[in-house]
Amino acid sequence: MIIGLFNHWVVIILMMIGLYIVIAHGNLIKKLVGLTIFQTSVFIFYISIAKVDGGTAPILADGITQYSNPLPHVLILTAIVVGIATTALGLSLVVRIKETYKSIEEEEIQQQDNEEQLTKHKTEDSA
């Protein structure tokens, strides 16, 4: 059972490591790295369920009877390229946040927002 389910368990461990980074770390780039780990763990999951014992790469050739399942390969191949495109979008948001707030730490950004709101309230009160 341990060998049979080892891949699934490793996928879950990697996924949870990614999730932990996304929740607990304040740095936005670190969060994106965590998201990449999470994403890759899903890729590993799909590819390991596609594997058939004694199978080979799904490219038709003479004398081969057992192939691994090609469908998950297709899904993940496109997902990887879409993943980099969306990561780039996330990174460009990080760049803009850095330009506006001069920081990419979540706590500092929140603090600046709170201060801004406070001063706004004060000016409204005095008016």
Partner 1 sequence: MINIVLLTLLVVIAIAIIRMKDLFAAVMLAGIYGLLSASFFVVMDAVDVAFTEAAVGAGISTLLMFVVITMTGRKEKSIRHKPLPALFVVIITGGLLIYGTLDMPYFGSEDAPIHNHTSPRYINDSMQEIGIPNIVTSVLASYRAFDTFGEVVVIFTAGIGVLTLLSIARTKKNDEEIESINDSMHQQHLVVRIIAKMLIPFIFLFALYVQFHGDFGPGGGFQAGVIFASAIILYAMLFGLVTARKVINQIFIQLIAALGVLLYGSVGIVSLMNGGNFFDYNVLSSNPITGQHLGILLIEWGVGCTVASVIVVIFFNFAGRRELQQHKKPSQDKESSK
**Maximal C-alpha separation, the chain:** 86
Helix (H, G, I), strand (E, B) or coil at 56: strand
Q: Compare residues 82 and 120 and give the one whose CB is closer to partner 1.
A: 82
| C-beta closer to partner 1: residue 8 or 121 | 8
* Smallest distance, partner 1 to C-beta of residue 114, A: 15
Query: Closer to partner 1 at the Cβ: 49 or 118?
Result: 49
CB of 120 vs partner 1, minimal distance in Å? 25
- Residue 108: phi and psi, rounded to 5, are -65, -40
Write the CB contacts of 75 (distance below 8 Å, at least 6 apart in sequence): 46
Q: How many other β-carbons are positioned within 10 Å of the β-carbon of residue 64?
A: 12
Q: How far is the CB of 46 from partner 1 (least distance, A)?
A: 9
CB of 10 to partner 1, least distance (A): 4
Closer Cβ to partner 1, 73 or 112, answer by number: 73
Residue 50 makes CB contacts below 8 A (sequence gap 6+) with 68, 69, 70, 71, 72, 73
